Amino acid sequence: MTKELRFSRLIASVVELGDQSFEPQRFTNQPVLLTGTADVLASDNGAEMARCALLLLMRMTKSLTVALPAGQEALKRELRGWALQHAWDEVPQFICDPVDLSSYAAILSIGGGPRADFPWTVITSDGWTVRVTSTAAPVSQNCELSNPVGALAAASLGAGEVFKRLLGLREDKGLFLDGCVFSLWSYVADGASGPALPDVLDVDLLLAGGGAIGNGVAHLLSRLPLRGRCHILDRQTYGEENWGTCLRLTRSGTKDPKANFLSALFTGNLAAHPVRGQVEQLEEDPAWQTPPIVLSGFDNIEARHAVQDLWPDLIIDGALGPRLECQVSAHPWPSRTACLCCIFKLPAGERAEVVQQLMTGLSPAALAEPMRLLSEVDVAAAAPERREWLAEQVGKPICSVLEAASALSAASIDAGFRPSVPFVATFSACMMVAELVRYLTTGAVGVEPRFFLSLLWGPQFGEHYSEDRHRNCVCTTRAANIKKVRAARARA
C-alpha cells in the first residue's frame, strides 16, 4: 500500500472538482482550525458537533489544530482521546485559545458570529435543524434540543465548507452557504427544531453495507436511544482506502471485517449481530428472519436489488455521487412508491459474473462460493494466464481474491477509487436515520421515494423526486407472489 492510499478517494474528488492548475496532493497539507464558543460547546449538541467535526476533518487534512475556549477542559480531554483513537499518523494538535487565525486555510467554528475577514464557517444545530454560514450572515446560536443526528448533519455541512475552501472552489462550480438553515425533518429551510427524540425506540433492523454510508449510519445508531437488535451485514474487510471516507474507522480497524468492526460500536440496549456474507445468502439459512426494516448503505446496483428481494416492510437507502451529491430514498412495501429495482437500473453490458471471471481467471463454480478459501484445485482450473498470480492467493477467501483482482485491474481503477468524501456519506447517513426515526415514531416516511441534493450548492437547493412503481418491474409483475412470501414470513 502506498502511504497516501487512505486519502485516495478524497484526492479523486479533488481531481474531479478542482481546476487543472490545482495540485491535488497539496490539498491535505493545508492547515485547518477547529474551534468554538463556550456557550455552544457546553450544550449536548455542541459537544457532539465537536466530536463529529474532529473525525471528519482528520480525514481531510494532515494539519488539523483544535483550540477550545477556557472552561472546556473535559471536552478537550475527550476530543484528544477520540483523536488518538482514530488518527492515522498525524494526530491533531490541541492548543489554547485565543489563537492567531491568519495562518489557517479554513476555520470551522462550533457556534459564534460570522467572520468575513477570515476563511471562517460557523455551525450550530437544534433538534433536527442545522445551520451553517460561511459569509457575513449570522445564524442562531440556540442548540437546546439534543439530537445526535442533527449534530452530525451540521458537522457534515461544516466539513463541506472546509472542503470548498481547501479546494479553492470557483463560483460557477458551487456556493458557500450563506446563513443556511435546513431541517432534516421537513427538508426545507425551517428554523423549527422538530420533535424531540423519544426516551426509547424499539427496533429490529438490518444494516446492509458497512462502507462509508453504513459506517455513518452505525455511528448514529450507536448514539440514539435504541433498544432491540440490529444485524449488520457486509462480506468485505476494511482497507486503508476506507479510512478516508468512514467516520468511525480506526487504523487498526482497516484489517477487520466491516460487519464485526461496526458491531463493536454498539453498547447498551441495542444488540448488534455481525453477519459476514452477501445479501443473497441470508435466506439460505433456515433460521434467518428478515427484520421489518432494512437500512441499505451499498454503493452498487446489484446489491441494492438483492436488498429489495428481501421485501421487508421498509427499506431506507442512502446514495452518494462524485460531485458531492447525496440522496435518501424510502421504500415502504404497502405503498405504491417505486422500489429499489425501479429506481436503480443495471446498465447494459457484461453480467457481473463475466466481469469477475475475466478479472480473476477463476471458474464460475469457484466464484459462486465467495466465502470459501481459494484452493490449489481452483488455481489448476483457472485461466492459464492468471494461475501464477492466483497461486499466491491460495488460502485466502475468494471474495478477497476478487477484491484484490479488482484493485489490480486497470479497467476498474475508477470503480475502486471513485471520488468520495466523508462528509457526503455522513450527510446521507443523517437523512437515512432521520427517516428511520420518523417511521418509528409516526409510521410514515418523508420522501416518496427520494430527496436529492449536492453539497456543492447546499441542501436548500435539494429536491424531492416522486416516483411510482414501474409497470414492468418485479414489484408490480410479481406483487402477488411477494405478498405470499411476506404473509408466510409473518406467520413463521
Which domains are assigned to the chain?
5-183 (3.40.50), 201-346+419-491 (3.40.50.720)
* pLDDT 10s digits, 458-475: 999 999 999 999 999 999
What 3-state class would DSSP assign to 407? helix
Q: What is the pLDDT of residues 400-438, one digit of tens each?
A: 777 666 544 433 333 344 679 999 999 999 999 999 999
Stretch 167-196: mean pLDDT, rounded?
94
Are the C-beta atoms of residues 150 and 223 closer than 8 Å to each other?
no
Q: Residues 90-113: pLDDT tens digits?
A: 999 999 888 999 999 999 999 999
| Per-residue confidence (pLDDT) for residue 410, from 0 to 100 | 34
Q: What is the mean pLDDT of residues 60-67?
A: 98
Q: Are strands 449-454 and 325-332 parallel, antiparallel or unpaired?
A: antiparallel
Residue 65 CB-half CA count within 13 A: 18
Per residue in 330-377, pLDDT (tens digit) is: 999 989 999 999 999 876 655 566 767 777 889 988 988 888 899 999
pTM of the model: 0.87
How far apart, in Å, are the Cα atoms of 100 and each of 67, 134, 162? 11, 19, 18
Alpha carbon separation from 69 to 35, 94, 98, 99, 295 (Å, rounded): 8, 11, 7, 10, 39
Predicted pLDDT at 286: 87
Alpha carbon of residue 399 to chain centroid:
22
